[in-house]
Amino acid sequence: MKKFFLGLLSTLLVVSLLPFSGNAAKAQEPDVDLWNAVKPLETTVTFLNTGAHPDDERSDFLAYLSRGLGVKTSSLIGNRGEGGQNEIGDELGNGLGIIRSREMIEAAKITGVKAFHLSETTSDAIYDFGFSKSPEDTLAQWGEDLTYERLIRFIRTYQPDIVMPSFRNVDSQHGHHRAMEILSERAFKDAADPAIFPEQLKEGLSVWQVKKLYLPAESKEQTETSIEIGMFDPIYQMSYPQLGEQSRFMHKSQGMGNNIPVAPRQINLELLYSTVGDNAELFAGVPYNFKEWSQQLPKTENDLKVHFTKLQGKLDSIVSAYPSKEQVFEQSQSTLKEVRNLQNKTKQSKLSAALKNDLLHKLSIKEEQLQTASFTASQLDVSASSEFNILTKGQTTNVTVTLKNNGKQKLHNVSADLLVPEGWNITSKNKTTHLAPGESKQISYQVVVPEDAEYYHAYKTPAIQAAVTYESTGTKTSQIKDLNGTIAVLPDVGLTLSPEDIVVNTADIQEAIPVTVKVKNYRDGAAQSSVALKAPEGWKVSPSNAEVTFSSQLEEKSIDFTLAPPKDIKAGDFKIAAEAAVNGKTFNSTVQTINYDHIGTFYYEYPAQVNGVAFELLNNDSLKIGYVESGFDKVADYLNNAGLNVTKLTEADLKTADLSQYDSIVVGIRAYLSRADLIANNERLKEYVYNGGHLVVQYHKPGDGWNKDTTAPYPLTIGNPSIKWRVTDENAKVTVLQPDSPLFNYPNKITDSDWDHWIQERGLYYPMDWDNHYETFVRMNDPGEDPFDGGILMAKYGQGTYLYTNLVFYRQIQGQVPGGYRIFTNLISYGASN
């Protein structure tokens, strides 16, 4: 019967429920927010999708489940995506992880999905360390026990009926994907076993048996059930796959999202495990609503049977009341009261512990959903804001919560309480009030941040939230609201060093290295600070310290220091720390502001220091280099700081400048994606090569505006699918195929040690095919795989040379790897020795 109903629903959505048009559209504009609130009342099913990285969620299917059926749906993602690439800025590592985490949260809002992560901090072991071809390698680096404990904890907390990993455990998949699939499979049984992580049970969690585990089917043989999800939904004015793509557009740092038409689409699934029978239909054997749950109850609990059956009738009635806000509000309040009474009855019943746990969990979900429906229908407008969004320890701020009743019903005992960490002091004359239709109320608070307050962390709950409560029909309803903007407790001052990374060339030790420290005041009002650099023994720093005076919050001033390294400096790493004293306290953090329109403003705090490395770097002082920046790397700045003469080429330069003035021109990573002017003037670059120039192009994806036949002087095809065309082992043995080439001898003599200590990987998006004009220079491979020879390709073209490399020099240079600098300097110096 249920299968018939869902099939009928699909047909109706495709055929009958067409988008509104003309004046009718204006008269019957869908109330999306209200529908989002009431639709989940139809079902008690909970669904969990697991993946490894932000953007791994199966957006189209999840949109169908959540928005189309009202299923409580979540995505649990392993890491924060710190090792990925960034298509909107130059943040990498934890900065990128913060961006991708917020993008996933914003994407999930569109599909009605709740986003969760196993990784908890910016120093977490569950970290995106880059592409991995092995689940064993992934779990070794993440810590298998740690990762699995968190997964079991989440399942026991969230209690999903159905689990589906986004990917299968097959060798064509990313090792991170495979690891999450392996653990998800194992957790199907283990989450229900009290012997697995028993300490969780002592903390108050209960064991939980997932009822079904599905895998995405990749073949007809694997497919056990298919679900049509391509239907048009008149509420959202688009299909579920289109809704999924709208959410994927939020993953802007990964270049996600596509414009697609309304079209049939099927999700094919394989039922891997089940405790409720072998029927592969998605909801078969899983109680779909409280009416079906009532049928699970023993005959001795007939009274409960009746109550649960009636409850589902009331929940369905609320959905049927849409779009009447007044009816939804009244029925939600009365049904909320019924749910709370039924919770007490269920607790007092003689049901088995497992069944009682199931029912109480489902009732708690409905309690939450009914409060959301009531709040949405009430039209109670809540605006909460702080006088200062940036706070420092010991500071006082005023918080204002404005409540306005835009609905047609009177709200009783309306109140708003602030939720803050323990130790924060709140003063308020907040009293409950009654709000008649159209009436508003403003509540003010004085909040004092304690001296021992925790600093802001992008992955933690906001420091200040508002809990808003009202009563109607004798039932209390509450919702937690975030304040406007990001509330952040930050150090009194932040210190940003430029450059943040420096190279001391032991072949030509610099007499003076300039370092600028930008000091930003986060205190409310005027402040004074004394700033100094702490260098290793033997270094000279001038001035020894500097005084800075601020008149207002967020004011920023710069101090110029000069560093003089010792003449006998040894090769190796070193650090130079920045410190600022304010009112007798020392601060030594950089506060990176991350701000994008699609996610908002967030902060990343890390030690304020110069990361230095000393090594021999020979270069041709007369070499003049042009650099086509992509916005995705900082290689040009790093090369300049290392003593090379690099000029960043503008759009006007590419279009009209005399390019022959440059001995070499370098194209940044994926610049054909971000620089339309580069594509427009690509023929000028090829002409530059033909007339005797040397062009070095760094890695690109196949879809980055790269034409395999015309972008390079001779055909060059970038590898696809990408998983097959990369060397992920950063320690993979490198064989130099032409050791006598100037590429490995001028100006630096390249040895095996220059390939040591690389970070994250060797190369990615290796060329898969190239014209025979190109020569190959290096060979390397991941363990057990065939080697790649295309890591460095170079061809003579006219009087010049064209070099393409997919080796990740940008990570090595920005990661202060000496060999990365030395090899790349040789690549861009080719021809200068002639």
Summarize the confidence of residues 669-677 as an average pLDDT: 96
Q: Mapping DSSP to helix (H, G, I), strand (E, B) and coil, where does residue 126 land?
A: coil
Summarize the confidence of residues 468-473 as an average pLDDT: 96
pLDDT at 131: 86
State pLDDT tens for residues 320-336. 999 999 999 999 999 99
Q: Identify the band that residue 432 occupies on the pLDDT scale cut at 50, 70 and 90.
A: confident
Query: What sign does the CA torsion over 622, 623, 624, 627 have?
Result: negative
The answer to whether 57 touches 601, Cβ cutoff 8 Å, is: no
pLDDT at 14: 41
What CA–CA distance (Å, rounded) separates 485 from 593? 13
State pLDDT tens for residues 158-207. 999 999 999 999 988 999 999 999 999 999 999 999 999 999 999 999 99
pLDDT at 16: 35
pLDDT at 495: 98
pLDDT over 90 (residue 396): yes
What CA–CA distance (Å, rounded) separates 150 from 202? 15
State pLDDT tens for residues 756-811. 999 999 999 999 999 999 999 999 999 989 999 999 999 999 999 999 999 999 99
State pLDDT tens for residues 282-324. 999 999 999 999 999 998 899 999 999 999 999 999 999 999 9
Of 1-5, 297-301, 311-315, 658-662, give the lowest mean pLDDT range: 1-5
As a whole-number percent, the residues of the chain with pLDDT over 70 amount to: 97
Summarize the confidence of residues 497-523 as an average pLDDT: 96
Summarize the confidence of residues 548-566 as an average pLDDT: 97
Burial label for 587, CB within 10 Å (0-12, 13-18, 19+), is buried
pLDDT over 80 (residue 104): yes
pLDDT at 450: 98
What CA–CA distance (Å, rounded) separates 758 from 817? 6
* Cross-strand pairs, 383: 402
- Average pLDDT of the residues of the chain: 94
Q: Mapping DSSP to helix (H, G, I), strand (E, B) and coil, where does residue 424 land?
A: coil
Summarize the confidence of residues 384-404 as an average pLDDT: 97
pLDDT at 17: 38
State pLDDT tens for residues 695-717. 999 999 999 999 999 999 999 99
pLDDT over 90 (residue 721): no
What CA–CA distance (Å, rounded) separates 546 from 553? 20
Diameter over CA atoms, the chain: 95
Helical ranges in 74-197 per DSSP H: 93-111, 135-142, 144-158, 175-190
What CA–CA distance (Å, rounded) separates 597 from 767? 35
Summarize the confidence of residues 132-146 as an average pLDDT: 94
Number of H helices, E strands in the chain: 21, 44
What CA–CA distance (Å, rounded) separates 822 from 769? 28
The answer to whether 433 touches 457, Cβ cutoff 8 Å, is: no
Summarize the confidence of residues 252-278 as an average pLDDT: 97
The answer to whether 552 touches 525, Cβ cutoff 8 Å, is: yes
What CA–CA distance (Å, rounded) separates 134 from 141? 11
What CA–CA distance (Å, rounded) separates 189 from 274? 10
What CA–CA distance (Å, rounded) separates 588 from 594? 19
pLDDT over 90 (residue 832): no
State pLDDT tens for residues 29-61. 999 999 999 999 999 999 999 999 999 999 999
Q: Identify the band that residue 28 occupies on the pLDDT scale cut at 50, 70 and 90.
A: confident
**β-strand 114-117 against 767-770: which pairing, if any?**
unpaired
| Residue 407 in tokens | 């609905």
Summarize the confidence of residues 590-601 as an average pLDDT: 97
Nearest to 767, CA basis, from 776, 759, 758: 776
pLDDT at 172: 84
State pLDDT tens for residues 60-100. 999 999 999 999 999 999 999 999 889 999 898 999 999 99
Q: Which DSSP letter does residue 65 get? A: I
pLDDT at 831: 85
Nearest to 135, CA basis, from 86, 81, 191, 178: 178
One-letter amino acid for residue 678 of the chain: L
What is the distance in angstroms between the CA of the first residue and the CA of the last residue of the chain? 82
- Contacts for 235-240: CB closer than 8 Å, 24+ residues apart: 235/30, 235/32, 235/35, 235/67, 236/30, 236/32, 236/67, 237/19, 237/30, 238/262, 239/263, 239/265, 240/60, 240/63, 240/64, 240/67, 240/68
Q: Mapping DSSP to helix (H, G, I), strand (E, B) and coil, where does residue 40 land?
A: helix
pLDDT at 834: 58
pLDDT at 801: 98
pLDDT over 70 (residue 235): yes
pLDDT over 90 (residue 429): no
pLDDT at 22: 38
| Residue 565 in tokens | 């390294």
Q: Please confirm whether the linkage preceding 323 is cis (ω < 30° from 0).
A: yes
One-letter amino acid for residue 142 of the chain: W
What CA–CA distance (Å, rounded) separates 99 from 798? 45
